[in-house]
Structure 1
Amino acid sequence: MEKFMFKRSLSKPGQNRFRFIALMGCTTFLAGCAIGPDYQQPELTLPSQYHNELQQVEGDNIGKTQWRNFYLDPHLQPLISHALEQNLDLEAMRSRLIAARQRITVTDAALYPEVGIDAYGERSLDSGLTNTDPSAENEFSLSGVVSWELDIWGANRRRSEAEYANFLSAQESLNLATISLISDVASRYYEWLDIEQRYQISTNTVALRKKELDLARLRKENGVISGLEVRQAEVEYQSAKVTLPDLDFERGEKANQLRILLGEFDYPLQLQTGVELRSEGALFPEQFNVGVPSEMLSQRPDVKAAEQALIAMNAKVGVAKTAFFPKFTISGSLGRESDELSNLLDSEGVTWSLLGGITAPIFNAGSISAQYEIAKEESRQALLAYRNTVLTAYFEVNDAMNSFRRSELAINAQQELVAASSEYTRLAGLRYRNGVASSLDLMDAQRNLFSAELALSQIKRDRLLSMITLYRALGGGTISLQNAPQAAAVDIEGE
């Protein structure tokens, strides 16, 4: 690097004024330009529709619906609200967003002159071996100091552009974390509810089969049935009973997962009277409009975050390119100096200096060129990551729609199976009591009904989870940081 210093020259006043105006005009013109590529949104050729399009209805698609208007379960909404206030991961994301906002201020500071105060006092005594009449001397100085690196090539403006894009990316990451938290709370809640219901089904079945076992033992004592039928009743009783330990463990584990999301050790999770895995019509909006794929670009936070990361890397290409050009600096000071502290403000003690410099690269063994190539490749990587995010988002929606369709067919079929099993059990019971059918027929019918009821609870759970997944894949609802607790300190609207 070579540094050239400007010195004050003695010329005619008119010539100095003309040169100064010309220099300032040239500087202003150059300052209006920023070297490097300006960002242009990539052209993406998205399909016009999803592969498995759901029924279209008027109005915005479901991905734009606020979470309170999507999750209609009155027992779930308080859990989501609590998690938004107390979840520790979400609080950490809010902290990262605030830090990202402050980094913009740090970066923008380079666009302006740096002003400071330089004050010092010194008292010294020369050596008697080198000075025939040594005496103590004082020196006091007070001055204001200004330094400024002119942003001729736009390096600082590109850095500011990159940091602002990083801030917006952090904002979208917070939105994504919020949407993920909401869907995770809803998913864990319905999974926990499913386990609780299957536990209740198993408990009721165990109680019923215990009565049947006691009745079988009584009938054997009276010589009505054989010991084989008693053993069959005992097998059915133990088969139902063996499901309880695993379900009891699972419901405790699922409750703990939910408490982690809620941010508390002992949040009270209790089943409300009448709460069950009801029809989704009572828990979610009745109609789903999925919109068109192009809407993902403005709805999904992960897509928007990836684009902001691309903008940041594009700006860094410009920063790397400015390293090929000279840097211009101006510094100066104005103050007073005196050998007595009492005379420091005397008008005769005025001191000033003005310094201009140019620092230009001459030989750096290819380091600047390599940094520039690295920046271009990182920008290309960010572009590929953005395209991949859009591609992944598109197929996530398609997969969620497939799961939604499959769960709709499965729940209808399973409900019909439960209804048929119930009727089969009722008829088998009548035939057994009338002596037409054996106990084995009745036990077989009860076994089928028990399995069908357990499966129906799980299929209802899967149906609700598929709706949650589809809603999340479509964007998960518009998120406003002003609605997020403790996020008001981040001034986003003012940007």
Structure 2
Amino acid sequence: MRTFSLSSLAIAAALFLSGCSLIPTYERPAAPVPTTFPGDPAQPAGPSASSLPWQQFFTDPRLAGLIQTALANNRDLRVAAQNVEVARAQFGVQRAALFPTVALTADGSRSSPNPARAYNPNAGSVAQSFSVDLGITAWEIDFFGRLASLRDNALAQYLATEESQRAAQTSLIAAVANGWLTLLADEELLAITRQTLATREDTLKLTKLRFDNGVASEIDFQLANSLAETARATYAQQLRLRRQDENALALLVGAPIPASALTGLDGGLARVQPMPAVPAGLPSDLLTERPDIRAAEQQLIAANANIGAARAAFFPRVSLTSTIGTASSEFSNLFHSGTKAWAFAPAVSLPIFDAGRNRANLDVARAQREIAVAQYEKSIQSAFSEVADALAGRETLGEQARALQATADAERKRFELSDLRYRNGVASSLDLLDAQRSLFAAQQSAVQVRLLQLQNQVLLYKALGGGWKTGDATAAPAAAQATQSPA
């Protein structure tokens, strides 16, 4: 019976010393979105976006090289990585508060006159004392879980920062891919504009010759001249956009764009290696696959832990100061027998009147949790909207791109026929110039929609949580390694 009593006492003491938690039970809020995506989209076979490393999605070696360089050099990503280190260190600081701090202190003093001479004439004129102590100073024993709640808050903040870094990586990879695709489209548009300018200048020369010989009117000549100048202005605009887009990509990459990444751009978007189709899954999958949603949930958990700390502030705080060491009035006798000294000083602080400070802090913590709930739900809704938009694009952009390419092919044929008829004097210059305008507009529209189609594939991959996992470095294309620059 005595053994049982001692065991029970030991268990009770351990539970008492371990403290209790006043953190509310965490329950994940229900996702405020439908259970399926609009239109019940088709689910192609293959791995999910979140399990597909970016090296297996972006297979073009030029683009893979740019992404590798961006991951090593982008300054925003470096800041995100250092934020993780800061949060990890802050968690370590908060966790250390649960344990006592043991310190060794040495003290010595000499003063004159010696107060002891007032009752002991034989005492010296100088008072001196020396001590060496090993002990604990003001260690708060966490009976009500205040420090544990703050530790849990710091842990959740650290995990949220880590997820935010992954979200920053997915955004960077998608931005680099879109920037590179935009450069391809710029090169294709430049080639189209250059060809259109050459065609219009040829038409202008022919119209000028016909005008000088009295065959064409001045109206025809000025219209041809106007269209040629318009093509020159468009070419200058496209050249400026091309350079600005390259500068924007260099900022994302964090280093000058290597020449190898820009080789073969004259092929345009048609030479881009295809990206695999990824299944959309269910909206509930986004809760575990998107780093930004996981980060928002960790922020919610942190806010929930703050309520526990605010509740614990209503209860007494118990702190302990204890030392053991040696003390002597003579330094030479400091470690001799009979100089042992010790102190044991527990303290209890019970809040009685604080003018409502603790109640207000609890109200703040509860309001912050409600804010975190709303932010978590908003992150889910935003993710759902991004995926739904990308799925709508996947269903429609392909047909739109096909139709616009067919339109461009038809306009090219009409222009060729109009040019032949004009040179043989059958058609008027208005027919030819109208065909030139229509062909130029159709070609531009076809390139722009093709760019939107490719960028939509990137958006869907990112929206479904892809890009934060990295595959085996040896699986990356060799050209990707060649384009890396030192960090």
Q: Specify whether residues 358 and 178 from structure 1 end up closer, same or farther in structure 2 by C-alpha distance, changes over 3 A only.
A: same
1:273 equivalent in structure 2: 264
Q: Specify whether residues 192 and 321 from structure 1 end up closer, same or farther in structure 2 by C-alpha distance, changes over 3 A only.
A: same
Q: 1:434 aligns with which of 424, 438, 454?
A: 424
Q: Deviations over 1:327-378 (max 9, x none)?
A: 1222211111122222221122111111222211111122112211221221
Residue 269 of structure 2 contacts residue 451 of structure 2 at CA under 8 Å; is this kept in 1? no
1:415-430, aligned counterparts within 5 Å? 415-430=405-420
SS at match of 1:64: coil
Residue 110 of structure 2 contacts residue 126 of structure 2 at CA under 8 Å; is this kept in 1? yes
Pairwise CA distance, 1:457? 1.3
Q: 2:222 aligns with which of 231, 254, 262?
A: 231
Q: Deviations over 1:69-115 (max 9, x none)?
A: 11222221111111110011110110000010011110111111110
Q: Give ranges in structure 2 of 5+ residues lacking alignment.
A: 474-487
1:100 equivalent in structure 2: 87
1:183 aligns with 2:183: no
1:113 equivalent in structure 2: 100
1:293 aligns with 2:279: no
Pairwise CA distance, 1:196? 2.5
2:331 equivalent in structure 1: 341
1:464 aligns with 2:454: yes
1:200 aligns with 2:198: no
* Whole-angstrom CA distance in 1 between matches of 2:272 and 2:236: 33
Pairwise CA distance, 1:184? 1.0
Q: Matched residue pairs, number?
A: 465
SS at match of 2:44: coil
2:57 equivalent in structure 1: 70
* Whole-angstrom CA distance in 1 between matches of 2:83 and 2:58: 28
2:125 alignment partner AA: S
1:10 equivalent in structure 2: none
Pairwise CA distance, 1:326? 1.1
Q: 1:477 aligns with which of 467, 476, 479?
A: 467
2:344 alignment partner AA: L
Q: Specify whether residues 480 and 271 from structure 1 end up closer, same or farther in structure 2 by C-alpha distance, changes over 3 A only.
A: closer
* Whole-angstrom CA distance in 2 between matches of 1:376 and 1:34: 16
Q: Specify whether residues 21 and 293 from structure 1 end up closer, same or farther in structure 2 by C-alpha distance, changes over 3 A only.
A: closer
Moved more, 218-227 or 46-55: 218-227
1:491 equivalent in structure 2: none
Residue 255 of structure 1 contacts residue 269 of structure 1 at CA under 8 Å; is this kept in 2? no
Q: Specify whether residues 207 and 314 from structure 1 end up closer, same or farther in structure 2 by C-alpha distance, changes over 3 A only.
A: same
* Whole-angstrom CA distance in 1 between matches of 2:260 and 2:46: 37
2:370 equivalent in structure 1: 380
Q: Specify whether residues 431 and 467 from structure 1 end up closer, same or farther in structure 2 by C-alpha distance, changes over 3 A only.
A: same
Residue 184 of structure 2 contacts residue 265 of structure 2 at CA under 8 Å; is this kept in 1? no
2:153 equivalent in structure 1: 162
Residue 277 of structure 1 contacts residue 461 of structure 1 at CA under 8 Å; is this kept in 2? no
1:193 alignment partner AA: L
Residue 96 of structure 1 contacts residue 170 of structure 1 at CA under 8 Å; is this kept in 2? yes
1:50 equivalent in structure 2: 37
Pairwise CA distance, 1:41? 2.2
1:345-384, aligned counterparts within 5 Å? 345-384=335-374
SS at match of 2:24: coil
* Whole-angstrom CA distance in 2 between matches of 1:101 and 1:315: 17
Q: Specify whether residues 349 and 116 from structure 1 end up closer, same or farther in structure 2 by C-alpha distance, changes over 3 A only.
A: same
1:176 alignment partner AA: A
SS at match of 1:475: coil
Pairwise CA distance, 1:222? 4.8
* Whole-angstrom CA distance in 1 between matches of 2:182 and 2:301: 40
* Whole-angstrom CA distance in 1 between matches of 2:149 and 2:294: 20
1:153 aligns with 2:140: no
Q: Deviations over 1:48-80 (max 9, x none)?
A: 310033321334333432111112222211111
Q: TM-score, normalised by structure 2?
A: 0.88
Q: Specify whether residues 160 and 65 from structure 1 end up closer, same or farther in structure 2 by C-alpha distance, changes over 3 A only.
A: same
1:28 equivalent in structure 2: 14
Pairwise CA distance, 1:26? 4.1
Q: TM-score, normalised by structure 1?
A: 0.87
Moved more, 69-78 or 59-68: 59-68
Identity %: 33
1:492 equivalent in structure 2: none
Pairwise CA distance, 1:263? 1.4
Q: 1:84 aligns with which of 71, 88, 99?
A: 71
Report the RMSD for the aligned CA atoms in angstroms: 2.8
Pairwise CA distance, 1:248? 2.0
Residue 32 of structure 2 contacts residue 381 of structure 2 at CA under 8 Å; is this kept in 1? no
* Whole-angstrom CA distance in 2 between matches of 1:59 and 1:25: 53
Moved more, 275-284 or 229-238: 275-284
